[in-house]
Amino acid sequence: MSKEKKLILFYGEECPDCQKIKERLDRLKDEEDIEVEKYEVWHDSNNQSLMMKYAEERCIGVPFLFNKETNEYICGSSSYKTIKKWAKGKELDEEVKGWE
């Protein structure tokens, strides 16, 4: 039985910043064995509705990362170091929740 993933990425298929985030998440999987659920929102209205549920007006664009365990989020592009900190459940400074 697989464990429910606590981390979510909402992205747009053609979004360049989203592709960079996906590469950083692949690195996170390789280096830390941390997996992230991924939902494409530009071409899937159900996924877009799910994103709005988690975003709660905190973020209206992609990429949007959400940690279901801590309720910490990242709106926009972020460094690998910040994403790793977020994925491990560490609190983020307000200024890194936006674009880096």
Give the domain CATH number at 14: 3.40.30.10
The predicted structure's pLDDT at residue 60? 87
The pLDDT value given to residue 92: 75
Residue 59 included in any domain? yes
pLDDT the model gives residue 94:
59
Q: Greater confidence, 95 or 41? A: 41
- Cβ density class 67-97: b for 16+ within 10 Å, e for less: beebebbbbbbbeeebbbbbbeeeebeeebb
User: Does a structural domain hold residue 13?
Assistant: yes
77 inside domain: yes
Nearest CA among 7, 65, 70, 6 for reference residue 41: 65
Q: Do residues 70 and 89 touch, judged by C-beta distance below 8 A?
A: yes
Q: Is 2 inside any structural domain? A: no
Domain count, the chain: 1
Domain containing 19: what range? 7-97
Residue at 40 is within a domain = yes
Average pLDDT over residues 51-79: 92
**pLDDT confidence of residue 100:** 43
Over residues 14-30, the pLDDT tens digits come to 999 999 999 999 999 99
Q: Decide if 63 contacts 76 (C-beta within 8 A).
A: yes
Q: List pLDDT tens digits, range 33-48.
A: 999 999 999 999 999 9
- Whether 1 is covered by a domain: the verdict is no
